[in-house]
Amino acid sequence: MANVLPACLLLALLVLTPALLTQQEQEQGQELTFRLDIGELCLQSVQCKSGCCHRENGLSLARCAPKAAESQECSPKSIYGVYYKCPCERGLSCDANRTIVGSITNSNFGVCKDPRDF
């Protein structure tokens, strides 16, 4: 009977270890696809630490980029999650001409301004 208990523990460890490793690998995979640094390839802005997934043009690969600072060109927040111009840093607003066509084509560009200056 004394030999049965260690054998059961060994069997349990053999069965549970792969499941634990798989969960650990999945968590590491999430770290690889989210919380990306500036310059890393992205598909959506939510993946980037900065909150901006930027592409130069329709044929370029999107990469994480810093948000636009005061007086820099910007895009208002969009449903697409990939920008040609990054949205403004926290506390600033993008003074852009907002149109339905511009929202669809992702071309509502403006300039970041401090809302207290208006």
Q: What is the CATH number of the domain that holds 102?
A: 2.10.80.10
Domain contains 68: yes
- Phi, psi of 23, rounded to the nearest 5 degrees: -65, -40
Output the six-digit token pair for 1.
């009977």
Task: Quote the domain boundaries for residue 91.
Answer: 34-117
Domain contains 22: no
pTM of the model: 0.66
Report how many domains make up the chain: 1
Sheet strands (E) in 4-118: 53-54, 63-64, 73-74, 93-96, 110-113
- The pLDDT tens digits of the residues spanning 57-115 come to 889 999 999 999 999 999 888 777 899 999 999 999 998 877 777 766 767 899 999 98
- CA-based end-to-end distance of the chain: 82
Task: Report in angstroms the alpha-carbon separations of 94 from 3, 23, 50, 77, 80.
Answer: 71, 41, 16, 9, 17
Q: Which residue has the higher pLDDT, 29 or 43?
A: 43
Identify the residue whose tokens are 């069965």: 15
Output the six-digit token pair for 116.
């207290």
Is residue 21 over pLDDT 50? no
Domain contains 14: no
On whether the CB atoms of residues 105 and 96 are closer than 8 A, the answer is no
